[in-house]
């Protein structure tokens, strides 16, 4: 089943200057390997199609089933320098929740907030 990331994990973010930090936390330990396999640094950058202009580094934190992404050139020069008021960390992390993840049938019961 292909679902938006919001059913697999939640996100937190921070921003400093022109760099955004996005933490992706799997809802269960069993869902974490799906994130490791499918949400790569390249796919993270690709999801933002031109919004993130600098390098993206992914850090794996398996002890707590989290991925941490640090993306440079992501905030239009920084919150105080950009004319795009929605171009800060929280808006970018919220946009990541639409990233699609393939979930095997055996893990569907662990997804959060599916309709029906």
Q: pLDDT tens across 63-105, in order? A: 999 999 999 887 766 655 555 544 567 777 888 999 999 999 9
Helix or strand (DSSP H, E) at 20: strand 19-26
**CA gap 33, 29 in Å, rounded:** 8
Mean pLDDT of the chain: 88
Is the predicted pLDDT of residue 30 greater than 70, yes or no? Answer: yes
Residue pair 14/58 in contact by the 8 Å Cβ criterion? no
Domains along the chain with CATH numbers: 1-76 (3.30.70)
Whether residue 88 contacts residue 75, with contact meaning beta carbons closer than 8 Å, is answered with yes
pTM value? 0.88
Distances (CA, A) of 108 to 59, 77, 111, 112: 26, 40, 5, 9
DSSP run (H or E) holding 37 = helix 32-38
Range 31-39 average pLDDT: 98
């Amino acid at each position: 089943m292909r679902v938006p990331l919001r059913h697999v994990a939640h996100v937190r973010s921070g921003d400093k200057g022109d760099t955004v930090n996005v933490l992706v936390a799997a809802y269960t330990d069993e869902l974490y390997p799906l994130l490791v396999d499918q949400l790569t640094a390249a796919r993270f950058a690709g999801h933002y199609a031109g919004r993130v202009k600098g390098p993206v580094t992914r850090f794996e934190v398996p002890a707590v089933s989290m991925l941490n992404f640090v993306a440079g050139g992501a905030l239009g020069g920084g919150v105080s320098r950009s004319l795009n008021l929605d171009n800060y960390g929280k808006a970018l992390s919220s946009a990541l929740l639409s990233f699609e993840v393939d979930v095997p049938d055996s893990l569907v019961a662990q997804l959060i907030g599916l309709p029906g």
